[in-house]
Structure formats: structure tokens, C-alpha cells
Structure 1
Amino acid sequence: MTGMKRSGRFGKYVVLGFFLLVFSGCAGTYSLVEFEVLEPATIRFPDEVDQLLILNRSPVTFKVLSPENREGLERKELWILDTLVSNNVMRGLLYVLRNSPVKRYQFPIFLSERRLDTLFQQDLLLTKREVASLCERAGTDAVVSLERYSLDLEEHYDFYSAGDDGVADVAVVRNHYYIFSNRIDWAVYLPLNPRPFDEYTTIDTLYFSRISEGVFQGAPSSAEMIRELFYESGLKYGRYLVPVWAHASRTLFKGDGKLLRTAARHTRRGEWEQAFALWDELGESGDSTLAAKAFHNMAVYYELEDQLDSASLMIDRALACDSLEMVIFYREEMDIRLMNRREVVKQVIH
């Protein structure tokens, strides 16, 4: 087998946008390659959907809070809280849309038409006529609706006793932390559908420590905690709607033999073709374990070149030589990549 030249396809947006090589150092058996892959969205909009309307129709009601959290809260404070929630969940959602390679969804139209019910009813969905009217008015093809949200805050203390030489024990705070959690219900509507095209719920929880093991850590304000929680929820739902870049890493074998170590030095200097030639040589050696490691490394090379079929073949050749645990794990990861590839292409290329 001869080493292949770089195809120059690292800019191909369907799979790899760019990659970053991070190595664990000269010592050791492995090195790490980090890069980004494009993962498909969970749902796929129909081909005719080009423009999205992001609608906030969640009711502004005290029922978004648990009974203990809403006690003493005035209407003005409720509106301030709702503004904080709405702005940050939409900010997180917009961040994902703007950074997705699906350009037609990068600039959605935002609209706020809040429900007026105060009973927090779960079944007050938009009708087909209402969806068609919204899309016609906004010039959009689909409505992504924030249906409702809820917020809960808990404060926890853990104590331990501190006493000395017969002095009565005194309760001392060991841990003091806050738990912020939320639930957000979303729905996607299409003008011609009598029921929602998709419904999805995000449930998120964040912990904020004020005192840990008796040491004061400090904590952000309640407003900052709420801001972070709902921003993260917006990010999560955005990743549900559109393909996003995700961190990935692969491990290279670099020890156990002079040629592997030499190849590792080439990869550290970015000389991948030279490293590939050495792995190719090892693949034809009589040592099945070294051959398996070489084929594994060649698979990583092909994956970085966006040649997933060739990478998959190299993994199979590695497993035929030796069933190394790392190679078995790589086989599982590559199967997921191959399964996602066709869906990513469908979602990105329109």
C-alpha cells in the first residue's frame, strides 16, 4: 500500500471544518488528535422550509415558579424575571443557529405573542389557521415556538460539628450550594399541518457552590445563575434543530517500536505523509499487534482527510490483525460517523 497525498479537503463543511492537533507529550504510548465534526440535528425540516419564525408564546404567570419560590413575588418582579429568562433562552438558541452551516436558518425572525391564560394549560397549541396566519404575516415557512417554561430554585446546606477541648460543638457550614432547574416545552409548527410537526422538552439543572468543604467559593447573583441556566437550555434546543460542530478526538499509537516513535515525531511536526509511509510499512510487517496499531493510525489519517470509507477499511484491517480495545472502540465511533454522514449531507445541502 502506498501513502496517499493530502486531498486538501479540510475545508469541506459537510464533515470537517478545521482540526487542531493536541499531543500528550513525547513520553507515553499514545498521542491525542482533536478536531471538530459536524453532527446532524435530531429533526429534519421539510425541504420547503427556508425561513424560520421563532415565537415566544409562553404565558407570563406566577405558576412558572414553584409555590415556595413565588411567595412574596410581585407582578413587576415576575416581568423582570420573565425578561431575563426569555432573552437568554433566545440568545442561546440564536447563537447555535448563527453558527450552524445551514445558512437559511441563520437569521430567523423573532416574535413575541404571549399567551394570556394563567392556568398553565398544556394543550393550548396553535391551530392550523393561526400557524398559517403567522407564517404569512412574517414571511416564514415554519414556526418554532417556546410554549411554556418553569423555573425552580433550591438552596442546600451541609453541616459538620467543630468542637475543641470540651467546648460545646457548634454547627458549622460545610457545603452551601444552590440548585437551579428548569423545564422548557417547545413545538415546531408547519402551515399545512393540523398538529405540531415536532414537540420537544428540555430539562436542565445547574449547581452553584457558595461554600465547599468549609471554604467560601463565592457565587454569582441569582440573576446570573438564571441567565446561565436558560442560555444553556437555548443552546441545547438549538443543537436539536440544526447540525452543529462538535468536539471529537482520536488516539494515535506512538510507542512500542522505533517506526511508531519516528512516525509520532513526524505527526508532531505536521508531517503526516511521512508518518503515513511508516505506518504503511508497519502494516506489512509480521508483527500482528504492530500492524494493528499502524492500520489504526492510518484510519485516523483518512478520517482527518474526510475519507471515512477508507478510514473504516483501515479499522477493519486493524481488527483482523489484533482485537485491541482501542481499535474496537474506534470501530464503534466510526460506525456512528458513517451513519450520521448521509443525514448531515441532507440537512446541510438544500
Structure 2
Amino acid sequence: MRTLLYLSIVCLLSACSTIEYIGIETYNPAEVTFPKSVGKVLIVNNAVPQPDNAGYTYNLYGTVQDTARARADSALFDACRSLGKSIVDVSFFNDVLLYHDGTRRDGKHLVDEKLTPEAVKELCEETGTDAIISFDRLLFRMEKDVVAFAEGFVAGGVDVHISGVVRSYLPGRDNPLATVYMEDSVFWSESADNMELLKLYLPSPDEALRAAGQYIGAKVTPNFVPHWENETRWFFKGEGARWKEATAYALSDKWEEAAFRWRHIYTNSSSWKERAKAASNLALYYEMNTQLAEAFEWATKSYNLFNSKKGQDYKYTKMQQLYLEALGGRIRSDQKLNKQFGQ
């Protein structure tokens, strides 16, 4: 089972609120599951860089500049290197290598071309790797706008839209193991007293593309390795000594002590609403301890109480339904994680 790391407690409502929200990190599986035999992975650039005069529009004081140019070849390399570095940082595979050359020799930058089974086999044999992750197409559309104001200062923005296709390959297979389609963007906005200062603040066209390549390489990483994600949970507060003690312990990250009091409330309270809230809190306690089956059981008890007394449209019934869905997803993710770690 994977652990949950408690991050912080954030009060989103007023001091008299009956709910306290908390932020947690959950450990999630990669979207793509490689065979257990894959220990070394090769990152490959199989994309063709777009021409310098393609995909870049520069609008200066309302006039489009027809001399705008931006080189994308370094951005492709940066995307591959960023992906490789991000995978290495996770320490999931035994080793991650970056292939030194691009694999395409044609100029069809708009074409998404897969690696052939023969090419996959040759690359793996050449590098001693077990699998390949390849950028098969990566395109950039960049827009730069600079405007002048009556006060004398200037403002500018650079917006880079990124789209591409990344695939994973295994030798001996006729088709890729998985295909990932990606689309995202990065943006810069600055103002300055004059044009010369603005040039210092905004990235050059080549720098902007390289930064976009680095960004998309890191962004696509969770598709291929397990990763942490931020999520939000909550626990109920209430009146009375035991409720206040439990809240104080939870706010101090003393979950055992808090759970002891919530369990007492659930067992002894004559109020169905207090029992429903205590059951929900106990579900959170078990989730924090990665006992997901127990968490799901207690969340179900809470949902059933809210639903039987107030119906499906009641706000707390809806909240518990969302929590049950989140826990169900965690249970499925945990099973996939165990598979990816060979357990």
C-alpha cells in the first residue's frame, strides 16, 4: 500500500464553520503500465522541428512583423531532456537514457510518424534499453504582442501553445504500448518604461520555445511514472467537549487521539447527524493511514446515514458521495500501483 503524506490544514470557511478542509498528497500510478521486465528506458526525439518561419506571429504596435523567426530544434531536445530528468527524479526505473540524435531525416514537421518495430529493436539493442518513450510530434504556436501607451511605457506578452504526441514502445511489438496526446500553453507578460527594457524582461523567441519544451517534457512525465497529486479532504467539527478535543488533536496532526474521540461519538451519540459526521471523520483517519478498505467502509456508513435521513439532494449526502468516489478511485489506483511496482 502507498502512503498518504499529510501536508497542511486550511480553514476555508469561518471560525464557526462545522467543516475543516485539509490538503493531502496522494500517490498515484502512471497512466501507462510497463511490463515488470522494463528496467532501462530510452528517451527519443522522433519529431521533426518546424521551420523557423512557421508558427510564430509577432505583432508590434498593431503591425504584424513579417521577419519574425524562431528556432524549434533546441526546444525538441529540451523537451526530451526535461522528460528524462523528471523520470529520473522519480527513481522508478533502474536507468533512463537520452538518445543523442533525432531519428527522423524528413522535413515533414506536421506529420505524426511512429517508430517502426525494426527501429525500436535497433535502438534498444544499440543502447541496451528495454523500452522507448518517444516524442513523435511536437509543434509550437507562438504569439508575441507589444503595445505602447500614451504615458510612454510599453507592455508585451508572449504566449506559446504546445501540442504533440508521445508514445511508449517495446521491442518485439508491432504497435506502440501507449499513445499520449498532449496540449498546453505557457505565457509571459511584462511592462517597461521603454522597448529596450522590455526586451530584457521578455524571453527571446528561441528562449520562449526552449522554456515551453522544458515545461511540456515535465508535464507529460506522470503518464509514464507514479506521481504525487494534491487533493482536498475535510473533517466535521461539532459542539461538546469530545468534538472540540478531537478537532484540536486533528489540527495538531494527532490523528490517533482524534479518532479515539470520533469513535466514542459514533458509538454513544443518540444523534444520527453526529454519528454520520463522526463516521465520515473516521473514514478520513483510515485514509490518512492508507487503510483504504476501512476508509471506504466508514465513508459508506456516513453516506447511508445522511441519505436515509435527508436524501440524495442534501449537501452532506452529496459531499459523502464525492468522498466515496474519491476513495474508490484511490483503491483502484492502489491496485494499479501494486502492479506497477511488481507486487
Normalised-by-shorter TM-score class: 0.7 to 0.9
| Structure 1 counterpart SS, 2:219 | helix
Distance 1:304 1:175 in 2: 48
Residue 20 of structure 1: aligned partner: 7
2:256 to 254, 258, 273: 273
Q: TM-score, normalization: structure 1?
A: 0.79
Classify 1:158/1:316 alpha carbon distance in 2 versus 1 (closer, same or farther; 3 Å): farther
Q: Is the 8 A contact 2:49 2:76 kept in 1?
A: no
Distance 1:342 1:89 in 2: 31
| Structure 2 counterpart SS, 1:146 | strand
Q: Deviations for 1:243-294, whole angstroms, at most 9, x for unmatched residues?
A: 1111223111123444222211112233322211210121121111111111
User: Does 1:178 pair with 2:166?
Assistant: no
User: Does 1:142 pair with 2:124?
Assistant: no
1:346 to 325, 339, 342: 339
Residue 308 of structure 1: aligned partner: 292
Classify 1:201/1:247 alpha carbon distance in 2 versus 1 (closer, same or farther; 3 Å): same
Classify 1:304/1:72 alpha carbon distance in 2 versus 1 (closer, same or farther; 3 Å): same
- What fraction of aligned residue pairs are identical, expressed as a percent? 23
Q: Is the 8 A contact 1:63 1:118 kept in 2?
A: no
Distance 1:91 1:125 in 2: 20
Q: Is the 8 A contact 2:161 2:185 kept in 1?
A: yes
Distance 1:73 1:159 in 2: 19
Q: Is the 8 A contact 1:37 1:247 kept in 2?
A: yes
Aligned-pair CA distance for 1:327: 1.9
Q: Is the 8 A contact 1:299 1:312 kept in 2?
A: yes
Classify 1:123/1:66 alpha carbon distance in 2 versus 1 (closer, same or farther; 3 Å): closer
Residue 240 of structure 1: aligned partner: 223
Please list, as runs of the form range in 1=range in 2, the aligned pairs for 1:1-350 lying within 5 A after superposition. Answer: 14-16=1-3, 18-24=5-11, 27-29=15-17, 30-62=19-51, 65-66=54-55, 68=57, 72=67, 78=71, 81-83=72-74, 85-100=75-90, 102-104=92-94, 107-114=95-102, 115-120=104-109, 122=111, 124-156=113-145, 176-210=156-190, 220-222=202-204, 223-284=206-267, 285-323=269-307, 324=316, 325-349=318-342
Q: Is the 8 A contact 1:243 1:348 kept in 2?
A: no
Classify 1:129/1:305 alpha carbon distance in 2 versus 1 (closer, same or farther; 3 Å): same
Distance 2:202 2:116 in 1: 42
The runs of 5 or more residues in structure 1 that have no matched partner are: 1-13, 161-169
| Structure 2 counterpart SS, 1:58 | coil
Q: TM-score, normalization: structure 2?
A: 0.81
